[in-house]
């Protein structure tokens, strides 16, 4: 069981006669939640386990029942019930589980977390206290496990939501700039990917990225933008690209503008000149020479 858990681990002692534990899992849309009880055992992720599967992911575990001790990066950290363990699965570690200890865990894709933690310059913080965004992440893990209907409803976005909460919960030396920069990057990327979607809104962005609408507006405001500004800039960028595309030379300029939501030619021309310092006609004529 342990060897084929969320990530390959090795229990100590190895004897089947001595092993006591319980595993229950819930999987939907490729996302898995696992409840684990390992009574009086140490479990270790050895280099050989990592060689079997190393994908850059992190193991997030909500501690329950009794304190557990995590050893990783040459240091030892104690997770109290209600705390979260954030474990880099690409590095060896050991978890000491006393009698009564249990956890609910999930594996998260590591790219956003690793980028943020790397920017901090130190090894990842192993234990996140069960308060603020950390408490919300723990509650989400518990709810997903307790209610199969909730799991079915949000399994496809659960990983992104948990990651967004962790980016808020990880102090990284008290500096949240990297976390905010990551959220801003994700918001602007989503806008760019969904710019043709007529339902693009703060509500849609918040729902798909697992953040609040307040976070959407606040993150953009700190960067000096409004949501309206970002949408208009992206649409103007697409119009500029289309005007330079010889395959679309048969479309009139106003038709190109309407494809991206600009119905009023006067306001479109004013916005285009403000963004690029030239007229739509000059861009189209220029690409022909």
Q: What is the pLDDT of residues 95-129, one digit of tens each?
A: 888 888 889 999 888 677 777 776 555 556 678 87
Res 258 pLDDT > 50: yes
Res 207 pLDDT > 70: yes
CATH 2.170.130.10 describes domain 2-173: no
* Length of the chain as a residue count: 289
Closest CA to 43 of 80, 75, 6: 6
CA 211, 213, 216, 221 dihedral sign is negative
CA atoms within 13 A on the CB side of 30: 5
DSSP class of residue 54 equals -
Classified as helix, coil or strand, 40 is coil
pTM of the predicted model as reported, rounded to 2 decimal places: 0.58
Residue 3 confidence class, pLDDT cut points 50, 70, 90: very low
Q: What share of the chain is helix, strand, coil (3-state, %, to 5)?
A: 50, 20, 30
Q: State the span(s) of the chain assigned CATH 2.60.120.10.
A: 2-173
Q: What is the pLDDT of residues 43-97, one digit of tens each?
A: 888 888 888 888 888 989 999 988 899 998 888 888 889 999 989 888 899 988 8
């Amino acid at each position: 069981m342990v060897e084929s858990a969320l990530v390959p681990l090795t229990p100590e002692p190895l004897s089947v006669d001595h092993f006591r534990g319980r595993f229950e899992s819930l999987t939907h849309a490729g996302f898995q939640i696992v409840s684990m009880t390992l009574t009086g055992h140490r479990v270790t992720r050895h280099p050989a386990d990592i060689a079997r599967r190393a994908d850059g992911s992190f193991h997030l575990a909500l501690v329950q029942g009794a304190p557990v001790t995590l050893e990783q990066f040459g240091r030892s950290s104690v997770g109290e019930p209600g705390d979260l363990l954030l474990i880099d699965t690409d590095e060896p570690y050991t978890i000491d589980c006393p009698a009564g200890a249990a956890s609910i865990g999930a594996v998260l894709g590591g790219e956003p977390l690793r980028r943020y933690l790397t920017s901090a310059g130190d090894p990842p913080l192993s234990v996140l206290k069960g308060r603020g965004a950390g408490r919300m992440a723990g509650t989400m893990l518990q709810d997903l496990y307790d209610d199969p209907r909730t799991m079915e409803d949000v399994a496809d976005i659960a990983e992104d939501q948990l990651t967004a909460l962790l980016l808020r919960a990880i102090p990284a030396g008290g500096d949240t700039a990297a976390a905010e920069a990551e959220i801003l990057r994700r918001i602007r990327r989503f806008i760019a990917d969904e710019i043709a979607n007529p339902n693009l809104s703060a509500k849609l962005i918040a729902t798909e990225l697992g953040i609040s609408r307040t976070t959407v507006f606040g993150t953009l405001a700190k960067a000096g933008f409004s949501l309206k500004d970002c949408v208009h800039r992206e649409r103007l960028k697409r119009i500029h690209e289309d005007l330079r595309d010889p395959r679309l030379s048969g479309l009139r300029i106003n038709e190109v503008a309407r494809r991206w939501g600009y119905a009023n030619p006067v306001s479109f021309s004013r916005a285009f000149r403000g963004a690029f310092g030239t007229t739509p006609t000059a861009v189209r004529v220029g690409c022909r020479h």
